[in-house]
Amino acid sequence: MNKVAIVGGTGYTGVELLRILARHPGVEVSAITSRSEAGRQVSDIYPSLRGEFDLAFTEPNNETLAEADLVFFATPNGVAMKQTRALLESGTKVIDLAADFRLQDIDAWSQWYGMEHACPDLVAEAVYGLPEVNRQAITTARLVANPGCYPTAVQIGLLPVIEQGLVNIQQIIADCKSGVSGAGRGAAVGSLFCEAGDSFKAYGVAGHRHLPEIKERLAVAAKAPIGLTFVPHLTPMIRGIHATIYAQLDAAIDLPSLQAIYEERYVNHGFVDVMPLGSHPETRSVRGSNICRLAVHQPQGENTLVILSAIDNLVKGAAGQAVHNMNLMFGLDEHAGLDIMPLSP
């Protein structure tokens, strides 16, 4: 049985990891840390896990963490990079759910995240944990950078046409909406019910931290720089991301052919559902699951391609994808612990 530990267990991604791992047949959670809640039982903070874990939160001690085969960091940006080297040297694998290892461009990372990187040499080693792209590399990795939620939805939506050179990569628009849980569990005025309820707004229009991540990874697929306008929005719901992506087709191609390209691209990726022509995926259809649902449209048969991509930001956009990566790193069934049907209603 593989032992895993979670650093930062009181946030939404931490508890989502616990929810998934509670039914995972191949791992045991050996430790879960929280500086603020050390000593308290997990079920005291999250009654939903009552009876599932006989664990108390502990301080994030590297000696204890190193006893695990793998450590998840469900922490704010800048935490994992300070502890990762010691864990790797002890033989413990690491999956970071924050952004410490996502960007290969260290200068860009420092600019967007406002701090100096503590271990830039390890960034080059880190494998970007999008299984739909890097499945094989993840299987041999000891350090995986779990993608961001918006980047996951946008990349999965665009990869088939970018990889085949079918769209103008300088004129892409990603119009994305997220539930309030994407802002985390910390108290903030903008996340209050009275502030976010019955309202809808764009934010980060001048620049969002996920923008350089999306551009860098799509540039790898395109083998050229990407021109992307990315506008995130906050919606009055708890979970979910919906990305409406617009791209100009460079080739004369009809919608059935585009549909076939998407179906072929993801035929061996069980967590991507390419829906039938004419479909409109909804966030409620993926809630609580590790599924990304896609649909492609070509309005009026003209040269604008519209891609619809829906995920649960806490699962496919965070904890579920991290468990998928863990399964690959341990040589387990990719779907282990992740055959979770979406919640409805």
Half-sphere exposure of 137 (CA within 13 A, CB side): 13
Rounded Cα distance, 72 and 18, in Å: 11
Structure-block tokens of residue 134:
């890097």
- Look up 292 and say whether it is catalytic: no
Rounded Cα distance, 113 and 123, in Å: 15
In the numeric block, the tokens 């009181």 are attached to 10
Strands in 241-249's sheet, in edge-to-edge order, are 201-202, 228-234, 167-178, 241-249, 304-311, 292-297, 272-274
**Sign of the CA dihedral with 135 first, then 139, 141, and 145 last:** positive
Residue 339 CB: number of other CB atoms within 10 A? 11
Q: Whose CA is closest to 20, among 327, 345, 293, 269?
A: 327
Q: Which of 149, 176, 194, 292 is catalytic?
A: 149
CA torsion angle 84 12 57 335 (round to 10): -70
Distance of CA 167 to the CA centre of its chain: 25
Structure-block tokens of residue 38:
């050390």
Q: Do 75 and 98 contact (CB within 8 A), yes or no?
A: yes
Residue 30 CB: number of other CB atoms within 10 A? 18
Residue 62's identity, in one-letter code, is N
List all residues 6 or more positions away from 181 whose beta carbon is below 8 Å from its beta carbon.
Answer: 12, 238, 239, 313, 314
In the numeric block, the tokens 């420092």 are attached to 110
Structure-block tokens of residue 309:
């991509």
Residue 271's identity, in one-letter code, is F
Rounded Cα distance, 275 and 272, in Å: 9
Q: Whose CA is closest to 142, among 156, 130, 157, 126?
A: 126
